[in-house]
């Protein structure tokens, strides 16, 4: 039987969608067909980092469309050539080569794995519990959630998942100041007992986004990189969520002070949500023939033009400093909610990549209350997401990087009103 909408018309969608129909956007706000205003606290899908319809970036994309919409990656083009140079210029110094034939983050991660396997001659990929690396079949197979793999009979082989550096809920039951970084040291045991013994790379999100906004402790990445280099394993940072200013620095690698051997990019690169992905590598990792990784819309010219303007805006004096400043303000405001509402747990974040844990009386994750709070926030005209694609307990808060102190104060106020509503119903 065909699905039928509330209006009685046949619904053509394969998947369920909200009854809210968005028709416009500007800055941090979206507008539905009835004129209601929504404060977008997640920047689209974490990809509209400069706000909806940023005029400078939109104009750059329009100019490119007027000039040339598409050119095969077999040829040079002005925006893609310039973007490759710009990415190398802003990346950690060891990353000197840009691969721009991916249309998004999932395919960029697959390309990075291909490079690692080709260079090392090895096969296995180590990822973290709770990691979300994309939606292709290969990336789903390497995900840190069994729920992403359960419906599918065939999965990509060679994935080895290991415990993440989640100090608040340590897999090993240790304290961060005395644990000896078991989440790194014991990877050897997973390699020995759970892998084929042939490990090409470790692929990690510097901050686990969908997995609960988990921030590794100081020293974790230094030890992880040393671990990889001692064993000839390539370290890949998936910076699809954390890159391009989200953490108050151009990349999370800058924030943590550790340069990976490969970095993957997507989401915020275009500033306004146009599809684009990329891979940055060390010079020694070149050599994978282009026929092994390329997609029709990889390096799409309007997206590249938008990305160039986005990078220029991010580099303007004071821009990233403002992200760090208002990020601290947002974190402090959300943290204060824990004094009033017993279901509000830890607020954690870096820059404007923030998560708020919703907990039960036993300090355990409370998904039903998180869902109730998300609904109450939507009633307040605030859009958020919940970790683990709605199955978790952490409110994902990623407002556009153009947020002001007033914007952040408004986000906190709407959270407080929504918490009041949820508390009254408890």
What are the pLDDT digits (tens) for 220-260?
A: 999 999 999 999 999 999 999 999 999 999 999 999 999 99
Q: Of the candidates 399, 388, 249, 385, which has an alpha carbon nearest to the alpha carbon of residue 333?
A: 399
Given this model, what pLDDT does residue 118 score?
Answer: 97
Q: H-type helices in 232-383, by residue range?
A: 252-256, 301-314, 319-337, 367-379
What is the average per-residue pLDDT within 143-167?
92
Note the Cα 378 to chain centre separation in Å. 22
Q: Report, as an integer, the average pLDDT of 370-399.
A: 97
Phi-psi map region of 8: left, alpha, beta (phi>0 left; psi -120 to 50 alpha): left
* Range 7-21 average pLDDT: 82
- Residue 208 burial class via C-beta count within 10 angstroms: exposed 0-12, middle 13-18, buried 19 and up: buried
Angle between the N-to-C axes of helices 301-314 and 55-67, in degrees from 0 to 180, rounded to the nearest 10: 150
Check whether 49 has a pLDDT greater than 70. Answer: yes
Length of the chain: 426
For residue 211, pLDDT beyond 50: yes
What pTM value is reported for the model?
Answer: 0.95
Q: What is the model's pLDDT at position 9?
A: 64
Contact by Cβ (8 Å): 262, 225: no
pLDDT tens digits, 310-360: 999 999 999 999 999 999 999 999 999 999 999 999 999 999 999 999 999
Work out the pLDDT band at 3, boundaries 50, 70, 90.
very low
Q: Minimal CA–CA distance to 130: which of 73, 171, 78, 173?
A: 171
Q: Which residue has the tokens 């990509």?
A: 156
Comparison of pLDDT for 16 and 68, the residue scoring more: 68
Residue 386 · residue 371 · CB < 8 Å: yes
pLDDT (mean) for 39-43 = 98
Distance of alpha carbon 194 from the chain centroid: 27
pLDDT digits (tens, 9 = 90+) for 107-138: 999 999 999 999 999 999 999 999 999 999 99
Which residues does 109 contact at the CB level (< 8 Å), separation at least 6? 133, 134, 139, 203, 236, 238, 240, 264
Nearest to 313 by CA among 385, 207, 390, 400: 400
Q: Residue 2: is its pLDDT beyond 60?
A: no
Tokens 């999965």, residue located: 155
Structural domains in the chain? 56-314 (3.40.640.10), 317-425 (3.90.1150.10)
Tokens at 285, concatenated: 């990792």
Burial group, residue 6, by CB count within 10 angstroms (0-12, 13-18, 19+): exposed
Average pLDDT over residues 383-407: 97
CB 241 within 8 A of CB 313: no
Average pLDDT, the chain: 95
pLDDT at 5 over 80: no
* Residues 140-167, mean pLDDT to the nearest whole number: 92
Summarised one tens digit per residue, pLDDT across range 275-316 is 999 999 999 999 999 989 999 889 999 999 999 999 999 999
Q: Facing residues of 151 across strands?
A: none
What three-state secondary structure class fits 19? coil
């Amino acid at each position: 039987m065909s699905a039928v909408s509330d209006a009685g018309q046949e619904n053509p969608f394969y998947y369920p969608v909200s009854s809210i129909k968005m028709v416009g956007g500007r800055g941090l706000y979206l507008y539905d067909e009835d004129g209601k205003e929504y404060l977008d606290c997640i920047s689209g899908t974490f990809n509209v980092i400069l706000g909806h319809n940023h005029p400078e970036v939109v104009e750059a994309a329009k100019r490119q469309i007027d000039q040339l919409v598409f050119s095969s990656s077999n040829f040079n083009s002005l925006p893609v050539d310039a973007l490759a140079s710009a990415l190398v210029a802003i990346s950690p110094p060891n990353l000197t080569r840009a691969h721009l034939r991916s249309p998004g983050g999932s395919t960029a991660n697959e390309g990075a794995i291909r490079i690692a396997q080709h260079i090392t001659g090895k096969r296995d990929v180590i990822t973290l519990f709770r990691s979300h690396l994309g939606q292709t079949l290969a990336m789903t197979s390497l995900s840190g959630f069994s729920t992403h793999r359960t419906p599918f009979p065939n999965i990509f082989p060679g994935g080895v998942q290991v415990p993440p550096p989640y100090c608040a809920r340590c897999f090993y039951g240790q304290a961060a100041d005395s644990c000896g970084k078991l989440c790194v040291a014991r990877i050897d045991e997973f390699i020995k007992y759970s892998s084929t013994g042939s490990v090409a790379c470790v692929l990690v999100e510097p901050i686990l986004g969908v997995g609960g906004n988990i921030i590794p402790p100081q020293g974790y990445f230094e030890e992880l990189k040393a671990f990889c280099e001692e064993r000839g394993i390539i370290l890949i940072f998936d910076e699809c969520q954390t890159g391009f200013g989200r953490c108050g620095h151009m990349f999370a690698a800058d924030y943590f002070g550790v340069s990976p051997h490969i970095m993957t990019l997507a989401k915020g690169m275009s500033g306004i949500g146009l599809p684009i992905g990329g891979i940055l590598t060390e010079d020694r990792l070149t050599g994978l023939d282009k026929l092994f990784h390329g997609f029709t819309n990889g390096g799409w010219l309007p997206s590249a033009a938008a990305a160039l303007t986005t990078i220029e805006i991010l580099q303007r004096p004071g821009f990233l400093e403002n992200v760090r400043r208002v990020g601290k303000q947002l974190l402090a405001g959300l943290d204060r909610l824990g004094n009033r509402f017993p279901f509000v747990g830890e607020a954690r974040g870096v820059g404007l990549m923030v998560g708020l844990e919703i907990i039960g009386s036993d300090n355990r994750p409370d998904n039903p209350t998180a869902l109730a709070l998300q609904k109450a926030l939507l009633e307040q005209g605030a859009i958020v997401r919940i970790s683990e694609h709605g199955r978790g307990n952490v409110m994902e808060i990623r407002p556009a990087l153009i947020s002001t102190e007033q914007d952040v104060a408004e986000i906190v106020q709407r959270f407080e009103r929504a918490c009041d509503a949820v508390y009254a119903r408890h």
